[in-house]
Amino acid sequence: KKIRQATGDRFVLAMSGGGSLAMHLENFFEILGLELIVGYGLTETSPVLTARHYWENLRGSAGKPLLGTELRIVDPETRQPLPTGQRGLVLARGPQIMTGYYQNPDATAKAIDSEGWFDTGDLGRVTPNNDLILTGRAKDTIVLTSGENIEPQPIEDACVRSPYIDQIMLVGQDQKFLGALIVPNTDNLEKWAVEQKLAESIDGLDLNSKPVQDLFRQELNREVKNRPGYRPDDRIGPFTLLREPFTIENGTMTQTLKIKRPVVMERYRDIINGMFD
């Protein structure tokens, strides 16, 4: 009611572009009673490929291809088309696809094949009704020593449902299990610490103390296991709590508020290596 009053009584729907939203955000808008329309695309696609519709709005999806737009889900290695419902690399073809990168034919050849299919770099699947479900970025995939491929984004989206976790980035490439860098929600963690008589402020709280570590272990286990599609390999092993958040200003986030994984990996390389020693 407060949000409706603040935005006007004629607020009919909200729109989000860029890609799929985490389910807890979808749930938030549903609880508010606001219809949420989600679209997906890239700069190279001018910029929309798919969109949900008011009359056919599948939560958790990026919607259906626009008129004249084709999607193809292929194996990331072989580039062979995959059956409906199977997850793979998302390719797109249509009139909105760019002709190429300016004065960069090599990059253009890597992005667009001879048949005009553009490599989005995103992973996803298509439902029997032709709705696109995005699952992550191909370059973000974490491969464990067991050979299991882990898409970090859905797990990270689940973890930030915890009131104590503001940001999280999974790590674990070529390791036996996943690890995580976590930025706590300082307000909620401080309230908890005061209630537990551990500290009077967040500045005085030892983030490596057993009570704090136990709290975050409990939060991670609950949110990961309650995630739809949970697998044992999704479990997070070691983690480190960071006092500095990921921000645009410190160079760890993009302008669209996505974590710059390579930058974070390099900045916290010693900490990450220490988690797996």
Strand, coil or helix: 147: coil
Answering whether pTM is above 0.75, one says yes
Q: Which tens digits make up the pLDDT trace of 249-266?
A: 999 999 989 999 999 999
pLDDT 10s digits, 185-230:
999 999 999 999 999 999 999 999 999 999 999 999 999 999 988 9
Structural domains present in the chain: 2-137 (2.30.38.10), 141-276 (3.30.300.30)
CB distance 265 to 273 below 8 Å: no
Per-residue pLDDT at 21 exceeds 90: no
Backbone angles phi, psi at 83, to 5 degrees: -65, 155
4 three-class SS? helix
219: nearest Cα among 176, 177, 265, 184? 184
pLDDT for 141 beyond 90: yes
Confidence band, pLDDT 50/70/90 cuts, at residue 65: very high
Q: Return the structure tokens found at 89.
A: 């690399």
Q: Is the pLDDT of residue 19 over 80?
A: no
* Segments in the chain forming alpha helices (H): 2-7, 23-32, 105-111, 152-159, 186-195, 210-225, 261-267, 269-276
DSSP annotation string for 151-178: -HHHHHHHHTTSTTEEEEEEE-TTSSSE
Q: Which two tokens stand for residue 47?
A: 């910029």
Average pLDDT over residues 78-98: 97
Residue-level pLDDT at 152:
96
| Predicted local confidence at residue 103, as pLDDT | 97
Contacts of residue 40, defined as CB under 8 A and 6 or more positions apart, other chains included, come to 17, 18, 19, 20, 48, 49, 50, 51, 62, 63, 132, 134
The Cβ of residue 240 has, within 10 Å, a number of other Cβ atoms equal to: 17
